[in-house]
Amino acid sequence: MAATALTRPAGRVSDVFVNEAEREGAYDWLENASVDGDAVIAAMGAACARRCAEHRYVFVAVDGTSLTLEDGTGGTKGFGAVGTYEAGARGLKAIDALAISPNGVPLGCCALRWWARTRKPKKRPSYERPTREKETQHWLDAIDDANERLATHAPSTRAWFQLDREGDSWNRLEHLAQSGRLFTVRSNRNRRVCTPRGRSFLRDVLMRQRPCGSYLLEVPAGAHRAERLARMTIRTTVVTLELCDKKTHRRWPRAVTAVWVRESGTTPRGEKPIEWLLLTNYVVDGADAARLVVFGYAQRWRIEDFHKTWKSGVCDVESTQLRARSHVIKWATLLAAVAARIERLKHLARETPDAPASVELSDAEIQATILLKRRQKKRTEVVPDSMPTIAQATLWIAQLGGYTGKSSGGPPGSITIGRGLEDVRIAAAVIEALADGRKKR
């Protein structure tokens, strides 16, 4: 089913399975109570962890998202509120963990936790509720799931968790520290810290440090940002955070390294300087180590691209019309694996362009790509029989999906790659079937 979804990625089951028998079989499988959604997630996570095994360490971006879904008349599908309760949107909440190679290529989804908000919480301070009763617990569970799968299937690979500002809370930081894994969390406020001179604020402590390095960052134009080459200055220091559980007043002093990277001297008038304030347990002993911390956190954006491809892009899982929460979870998990492969192919072509196409594509997929490209090549183009690079094969696949390079001027994106894979997978299935027929003879 996942292979077919990769052939025709879409949110609706009826758009993926056009053959009536396959479509009926897919619905039967999704609606079968004996098929456990957690088992599907575990299989996907284990496959991702095995892919991680070739690396000494991997970045693991953890983030939350939600699927906005049609809940039927009277909310009969078992969904809950998403967004604000006042807005009235319905759907499912999720926390996922995306493994990323040291050079920035997505390796797959190694953890995925689902839940539905069943009711609006009582009006009382969040710190009065134990962690197990808050959505924070799903974050901790996703981190534990990723740890367990890597320990089982990639015991020599170390996870380096990457969390955005939502991860800057005492329970997440303490859980990450106790896990024995590396972590980098973007700070969401100017924390109080303990220093040999007494208590102070984190930014004040960092401002007293001499820069340990700098680099240039290409900044694309945005809605409120001018295109420029920004000069980024790095400061680091070791500080002690006082993590405090407001409910029990228990405190944990936790030593971390703060890495502050901030734009200096290139900020246009009227704009705020670009900056990241990162908290990590990685040993920063110089500018190179500090740059690695910053690079690792920059890979966290891969999970944002993954969410877009999964939810509203090529896979469009939010358009599903399935009738129950358990059915949606199984279907959305399969589409998460499809979205991760599309993102992996996109970034392989960008980060390791000279690698052979066989690093990701099967022999049949490579043959299919070459054959289909020859059908629509220009007169002056030459498509050789030799093994193409992953960048060349990805470009051909994207061109099959309508990529011209004229609209954005950039490299192929997930939409055109996903469309091209539809044709490639259909042709590859034919090639595989012919090969099996010859073997049987």
Q: Reply yes or no on whether the pLDDT at 432 is more than 80.
A: yes
What tokens were used for 371? Answer: 């054959």
pLDDT digits (tens, 9 = 90+) for 18-27: 889 999 999 9
- 138-171 pLDDT, tens digit each: 999 999 999 999 999 999 999 999 999 999 888 8
> Residue 225 pairs with which residues in a beta bridge?
222
Angle CA 197–201–204, to nearest 5: 85
What does the pLDDT read at residue 254? 84
Report pLDDT for 86: 79
Q: What is the pLDDT of residues 375-421, one digit of tens each?
A: 988 888 888 889 999 999 999 999 999 998 876 668 899 989 988 98
Amino acid identity for residue 137 in this structure: Q
HSE, side-chain direction, 13 A CA sphere, residue 218? 1
Stated pTM of the model = 0.90
d(CA 41, CA 383): 40
Alpha-carbon separation of residue 154 from 19, 281, 309, 338, 348 (angstroms): 39, 21, 27, 22, 21
Q: Integer distance in angstroms from the first to the last C-alpha of the chain?
A: 28
- pLDDT mean over 239-262: 82
**What is the C-alpha separation between 331 and 311, in angstroms, rounded?**
12
Q: What is the set of domains in the chain, with CATH numbers?
A: 1-164+300-339 (no CATH), 185-286 (3.90.350.10), 352-440 (1.10.740.10)
Kindly list the distances between the CA atom of residue 306 and the CA atoms of 97, 100, 316, 342, 429, in Å, as whole numbers in the listed order.
11, 11, 12, 9, 26
| Rounded Cα distance, 355 and 139, in Å | 35
Residue 236 has pLDDT above 90, yes or no: yes
How many residues in total does the chain contain?
441
pLDDT at 8: 86
Confidence of residue 357 (pLDDT cuts 50, 70, 90): very high
Whether 241 and 173 have beta carbons less than 8 Å apart is answered as yes
> pLDDT by residue (tens digit) across 24-49?
999 999 999 999 999 999 999 999 99
pLDDT digits (tens, 9 = 90+) for 291-347: 999 999 999 999 999 999 999 999 999 999 999 999 999 999 999 999 999 999 999
For position 3, what pLDDT does the model report? 86
* Torsion-angle region of 132 (φ positive above 0: left; ψ -120 to 50: alpha; else: beta): alpha
Q: How far is CA 150 from CA 45, 117, 173, 358, 372, in A?
A: 9, 29, 20, 25, 38
Tell me what the mean pLDDT of segment 69-85 comes to.
83
Residue 126 above 80 pLDDT?
A: no
Residue 170: per-residue pLDDT = 81
| String of DSSP letters for 191-234 | -EEEETTEEEEHHHHHHTSPP-EEEEEEE--BTTB--EEEEEEE
Q: Are 213 and 292 in contact (CB under 8 A)?
A: no
Angle made by CA atoms 52, 53, 54, in degrees to the nearest 5 = 95
From the list 285, 287, 275, the residue with the least C-alpha distance to 238 is 285
pLDDT on residue 256: 92
How much of the chain exceeds pLDDT 90, in percent?
Answer: 66
Which pLDDT value is given to residue 123? 66
Mean of pLDDT values over 128-134: 74
**pLDDT-derived band at 244, boundaries 50, 70, 90:** confident
